[in-house]
Amino acid sequence: MSLLVVFGPPAAGKTTLATRLAERFDAPVLHSDDYTTRTYERLLDDAEARRREHPLVVLDGTFHDPDWRGWARDLDDAYCLYVTAALDTCLRRDWERADSIGEPGVRTIHRAFREQEATADADFTVDTRILPEETAFSLASRRVADWLSS
């Protein structure tokens, strides 16, 4: 069973892309925002359980701790899609949300991704500040389809 991990800074467009990819590939999607305690531990446990029932499971979360990304990278048949955008874009998008995490949170996590060189953990990177949503989805969808067929 395959696991698609969609990760990146807050308000970069992860949830939009993860949800569309899950629909495109008829896969369940698990969102880190749906967990309030032990978020990534529970998210990853639930993903393992779902992997037994579905050919593909999509995970949506920041995965800002490199250890969590490492766990996903170490799994057999996992694909990591890094969704990013410039800090100013993420700040604007977060500000427009009803469930905003606030500027300090966005800045802290965005900086962590830059310092960690998160692209090294990705099989593919999509910059949603540069690419329109439909183009980002099309490119990511094509990459995921290629991965699933390999």
- Does the pTM surpass 0.85? The reply is yes
Average the pLDDT over 5-23 and give the result: 97
**pLDDT at site 68:** 87
**pLDDT at site 132:** 92
**pLDDT at site 23:** 98
**pLDDT at site 77:** 87
| Residue 73's pLDDT band (cuts 50, 70, 90) | confident
The tokens 């579905």 sit on which residue? Answer: 54
Distance between CA atoms of residues 4 and 78, nearest Å: 6
Mean pLDDT of the chain: 93
Residue 83 CA to its chain's centroid (Å): 6
Q: What residues does 118 pair with on adjacent strands?
A: none
CATH class of 2-149: alpha beta
Average the pLDDT over 41-53 and give the result: 89
Distance between CA atoms of residues 150 and 144, nearest Å: 10
pLDDT tens by residue, 118-130: 888 899 999 999 9
Domain residue ranges of the chain, discontinuous segments joined by +: 2-149
pLDDT tens by residue, 103-113: 999 999 999 99
pLDDT tens by residue, 77-106: 899 999 999 999 999 999 999 999 999 999
